[in-house]
């Protein structure tokens, strides 16, 4: 079943105490709303916050996600956190392929596919981010559509249809992340439709119809409802606005 999801990517923000308070507010808000089963709320706090947050949220109401996982299972990899360690904390999903990881940590499709496989082996859902840079957007639709398709073809399109069911796609134009620039609802719809068609071409129409495709990039209470209303937009991956409980609540209500 295609889900409607509002997910918060906190990035490297908040102290543990602030994060626990924020998570509790989100959990209480969602609990007060009695959302339909199709609608889900996800939060992705920093690694250090996951264990205490798992203790305070209602796991039936809010899905706990991590922002990354290691490309290896265990061993001498200083600083890394494995998918199985995350699972042990009550984490249910992991964000992979975020443009900040691609840009600052040089994560390419080969590394990402390893992470995807390890996360899937632990039963985690994947929120897989794709999107074009400003330069690629300016080079025209032919180029940016191919860039986005290649990000899929080299990674999640190599999975089996059964594995792919655990994948949520987040279309995040890099030029819109944290910049205050947002894709217009029409721009978002065009790309989401193109992504869904690419999924249909690879896995068949039924799988494509069931795939959740989120929009991310400077989503806020003032612009979310219009973007989320588009036919192929199934919710949002939210950065900055997920750090304020009130704004995040409005975004939850916008979908």
What residues are labeled active site? 98, 172
CB of 44 to ligand PEP, least distance (A): 9
CB of 201 to ligand PEP, least distance (A): 26
- The torsion angles phi and psi of 120, rounded to 5 degrees, stand at -65, -35
Residue nearest to ligand PEP (CB): 239
Closest to ligand PEP by CB, 113 or 237: 237
Closest to ligand PEP by CB, 119 or 243: 243
The contact set with ligand PEP (CB under 6 A) reads 9, 172, 177-178, 216-219, 237-241
- Is residue 67 within 8 A of residue 44, CB to CB? The reply is yes
CB of 240 to ligand PEP, least distance (A): 4
Closest to ligand PEP by CB, 10 or 203: 10
Going through the chain in order, the beta strands assigned E by DSSP cover 4-9, 39-44, 62-66, 93-96, 125-130, 167-171, 213-216, 235-238
CB of 159 to ligand PEP, least distance (A): 22
Bridge partners (DSSP) listed for residue 125 = 93
- 10 Å CB burial of residue 167 (0-12, 13-18, 19+) is buried
Closest to ligand PEP by CB, 151 or 202: 151
Q: Name every residue whose Cβ is closer than 8 Å to that of residue 1 and which is 6 or more positions away in sequence.
A: 38, 210
């Amino acid at each position: 079943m295609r889900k409607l999801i509002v997910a918060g990517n906190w990035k490297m923000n908040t102290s543990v105490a602030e994060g626990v308070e924020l998570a509790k507010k989100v959990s209480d808000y969602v609990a007060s709303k009695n959302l339909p089963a199709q609608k889900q709320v996800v939060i992705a706090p920093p690694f250090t916050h996951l264990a205490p947050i798992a203790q305070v949220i209602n796991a039936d109401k809010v899905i706990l996600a991590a922002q990354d996982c290691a490309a290896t299972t265990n061993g001498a990899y200083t600083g890394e956190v494995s998918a199985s360690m995350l699972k042990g904390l009550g984490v249910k999903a992991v964000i992979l392929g975020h443009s900040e990881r691609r840009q600052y940590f040089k994560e390419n499709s080969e590394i990402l596919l390893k992470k995807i496989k390890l996360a899937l082996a632990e039963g985690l859902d994947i929120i897989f981010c794709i999107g074009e840079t400003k330069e690629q957007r300016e080079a025209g639709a032919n180029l940016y559509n191919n860039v986005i398709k290649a990000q899929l073809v080299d990674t999640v399109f190599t999975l089996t249809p059964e594995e792919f069911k655990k994948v949520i796609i987040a279309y995040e134009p890099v030029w819109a992340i944290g910049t205050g620039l947002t894709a217009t609802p029409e721009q978002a719809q065009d790309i989401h439709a193109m992504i869904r068609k690419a999924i249909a071409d690879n896995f068949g129409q039924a799988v494509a119809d069931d795939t959740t495709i989120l929009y991310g990039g400077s989503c806020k209470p003032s612009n979310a409802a219009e973007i989320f209303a588009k036919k192929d937009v199934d919710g949002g991956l939210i950065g900055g606005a997920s750090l304020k409980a009130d704004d995040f609540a409005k975004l939850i209500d916008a979908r």
